[in-house]
């Protein structure tokens, strides 16, 4: 991969938002977030190492840095802590299934973590795609915006304050743009451990089954077609756990999470009936299923899906915590489970919120619809404003040029998330979705052409034509400048 020197000066912009200091440089971007400061040959100043200052801490920038000021501006929002925000209400309802003192609730852990915390401590292979700069926001080579709440697992296991915990937090991923994807969302992590040395008679499976019996019962029938472990697809950690121990952990994990889902949706259904808009779908019995999954830090692993508007929707991932994570965290005698649930995913179902961008709205017509209480009220859309589609077509460069110019969007290293990032930087929440609508390779030149359709639509007002045109022109300009593509 190449670095560009496009010859623009490095300037500093100061962004101050609700008590957080985001000192960011406007910089020369290249796709994938690579950039390089222009060499200052005038020698008026001593060479300065570029740095980002965030929350009073300074982070050295390097060739890995790909966070933008617009992404950093989300750090202070913390929707999971805003009273009466649907993300926060969802958090509180789920937390109530995991009461203290068994569970400690961590809700204010800082989003900037080390690569070691986010990936290494969890056993992510070095070539795992989650580590790539097309998927993850890097502050620098060693530091990222957490991509999941699991980034804090190892530290909390090490602190060992209670048998269980939940962590709720904002997480950041470079991703597609559509109604259910946003580069910032919120997760809740949960874990429950049992210490072999502390359970009666050292019989950890029996202790877990005893705790299992104490969990609230529910009458929901849940599809769970697979065996607890499968030698290839979902293996037992045979060197650490007996089959009986894993059966007990899996049963406790699944029943705990089924309790969460049943609790949440019975509230939503009650609310729908109370509001008088209980249509057939709202009253249908809830359909839930367990499927096998893979995570580097659990085995066996599962996902819980809910049937929603005719499709299976993934709500959470979970599994039996890898013993290596616990050994490395200095608690080798503990065994147990962990899960991670997407709070927006749950909130969208619960409150019938049709577009993930709405969570970030400061419009009182959105925010005033929700309050903390026994019941959950369905969101009443204020209006659907007109959409405005615009296409942009471009050629990727046919070959990489390592010298001079450093344009890097040849077909090999082009990544769609770079387009998404540019559109997001320019259009912010005024873009509803971005889709690839055409894709072909020229038969003679072998150059690749792509056409993306951008749907501009505000959730709060009708956009003016000229404002859409300006945004679209700016997207086109940035595609050329940052990705080195040739517009068609």
Binding footprint of ligand FA5 on the chain (CB under 6 A): 148, 150, 173, 175, 181-182, 185, 187, 189, 295, 298, 314-319, 338-342, 344-345
Phi, psi of 5 (to 5 degrees): -120, 95
Nearest-angstrom CA–CA distance, 191 and 92: 16
Q: How far is the CB of 173 from ligand FA5 (least distance, A)?
A: 6
> Which partner, ligand FA5, Mg ion, none, binds residue 298 by CB below 5 to 8 Å per kind?
ligand FA5
38 to 2, 50, 258, 316: CA distances (angstroms): 14, 11, 55, 44
Closest-by-Cβ residue to Mg ion is: 317
Q: Which residue has the tokens 């367990």?
A: 290
> Which partner, Mg ion, ligand FA5, none, binds residue 90 by CB below 5 to 8 Å per kind?
none
The CA-to-CA distance between both ends of the chain, in Å, stands at 25
Which C-beta is closer to ligand FA5: that of 182 or that of 379?
182
Q: How far is the CB of 316 from Mg ion (least distance, A)?
A: 8
Q: Measuring CA to CA, which residue among 429, 368, 426, 379 is closest to residue 179?
A: 429
Which C-beta is closer to ligand FA5: that of 245 or that of 344?
344
Closest-by-Cβ residue to ligand FA5 is: 342
Which C-beta is closer to ligand FA5: that of 315 or that of 426?
315
- What SS3 state is found at 22? strand
Nearest-angstrom CA–CA distance, 218 and 221: 9
Phi, psi of 171 (to 5 degrees): -130, 160
> Which partner, ligand FA5, Mg ion, none, binds residue 295 by CB below 5 to 8 Å per kind?
ligand FA5
Tell me the site size for Mg ion, rule CB under 5 A: 1
In 119-242, alpha helices (H)? 153-159, 204-214
Nearest-angstrom CA–CA distance, 486 and 393: 9
> Which partner, ligand FA5, Mg ion, none, binds residue 245 by CB below 5 to 8 Å per kind?
none
Question: Which residues pair with residue 312 across a beta bridge?
Answer: 307
> Which partner, ligand FA5, Mg ion, none, binds residue 433 by CB below 5 to 8 Å per kind?
none
Q: How far is the CB of 171 from ligand FA5 (least distance, A)?
A: 7
Which C-beta is closer to ligand FA5: that of 223 or that of 391?
223
Q: How far is the CB of 303 from Mg ion (least distance, A)?
A: 6
Which C-beta is closer to ligand FA5: that of 342 or that of 484?
342
Which C-beta is closer to ligand FA5: that of 337 or that of 394?
337
Taking CB under 5 A as the rule, which mask of x and - marks residues 315-344 in contact with Mg ion? --x---------------------------
> Which partner, ligand FA5, Mg ion, none, binds residue 336 by CB below 5 to 8 Å per kind?
none
DSSP 305-324: EEEETTEEEEEEEEEEEPHH
Nearest-angstrom CA–CA distance, 49 and 58: 11
Which C-beta is closer to ligand FA5: that of 55 or that of 416?
416
Helix axes 243-274, 343-351, angle to 10 degrees: 30
Q: Which distant-in-sequence residues (6+ apart) come within 8 Å of 312 by Cβ?
A: 289, 305, 306
Residues lying near Mg ion in the complex (CB under 5 A) are found at 317
């Amino acid at each position: 991969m190449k670095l560009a020197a496009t010859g623009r000066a490095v300037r500093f912009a100061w962004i101050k938002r609700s008590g957080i200091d985001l000192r960011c440089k406007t910089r020369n971007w290249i796709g994938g977030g690579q950039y390089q400061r222009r060499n200052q040959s005038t020698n008026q100043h001593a060479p300065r190492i570029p740095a980002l200052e965030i929350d009073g801490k300074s982070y050295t920038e390097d060739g890995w840095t790909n966070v933008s000021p617009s992404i950093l501006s989300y750090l202070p929002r913390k929707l999971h802590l805003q009273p009466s925000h649907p993300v926060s209400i969802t958090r509180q309802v789920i937390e109530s299934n995991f009461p203290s003192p068994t569970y400690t609730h961590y809700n204010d852990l800082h989003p900037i973590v080390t690569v070691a915390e986010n990936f290494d401590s969890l056993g992510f292979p070095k070539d795992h795609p989650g580590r790539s700069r097309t998927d993850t926001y890097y502050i620098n080579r060693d530091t990222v915006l957490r991509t999941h709440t699991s980034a804090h697992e190892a530290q909390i296991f090490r602190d060992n304050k209670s048998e269980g915990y939940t962590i709720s937090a904002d997480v950041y991923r470079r991703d597609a743009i559509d109604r259910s994807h946003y580069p910032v969302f919120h997760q809740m992590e949960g874990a429950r451990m049992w210490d072999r040395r502390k359970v009666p008679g050292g019989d950890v499976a029996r202790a877990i089954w005893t705790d299992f019996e104490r969990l609230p019962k529910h009458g929901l029938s849940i599809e769970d077609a697979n065996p607890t472990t499968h030698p290839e697809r979902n293996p037992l950690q045979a060197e650490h756990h007996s089959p009986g121990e894993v059966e007990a952990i899996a049963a406790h994990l699944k029943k705990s999470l089924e309790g969460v889902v049943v609790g949440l949706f019975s509230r939503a259904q009650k609310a729908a009936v109370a509001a008088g808009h209980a249509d057939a779908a709202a009253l249908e019995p809830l359909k839930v299923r367990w499927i096998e999954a893979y995570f580097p830090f659990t085995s066996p692993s599962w996902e819980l899906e809910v049937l929603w508007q005719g499709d299976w929707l993934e709500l959470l991932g979970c599994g039996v915590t890898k013993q290596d994570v616990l050994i490395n965290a200095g608690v080798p005698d503990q065994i147990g489970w962990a899960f991670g649930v997407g709070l927006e995913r749950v909130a969208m179902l619960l409150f019938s919120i049709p577009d993930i961008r709405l969570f970030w709205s400061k419009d009182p017509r959105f925010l005033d619809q929700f309050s903390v209480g026994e019941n959950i009220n369905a969101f009443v859309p204020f209006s659907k404003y007109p959409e405005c589609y615009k296409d942009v077509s471009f050629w990727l460069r046919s070959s990489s040029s390592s010298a001079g110019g450093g344009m890097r969007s040849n077909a090999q290293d082009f990544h769609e998330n770079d387009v998404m990032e540019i559109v997001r930087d320019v259009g912010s929440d005024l873009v509803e979705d971005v889709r690839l609508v055409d894709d072909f390779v020229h038969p003679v030149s072998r150059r690749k052409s792509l056409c993306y359709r951008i749907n501009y639509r505000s959730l709060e007002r009708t956009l003016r034509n000229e404002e859409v045109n300006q945004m679209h022109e700016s997207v086109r300009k940035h595609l050329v400048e940052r990705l080195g593509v040739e517009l068609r």
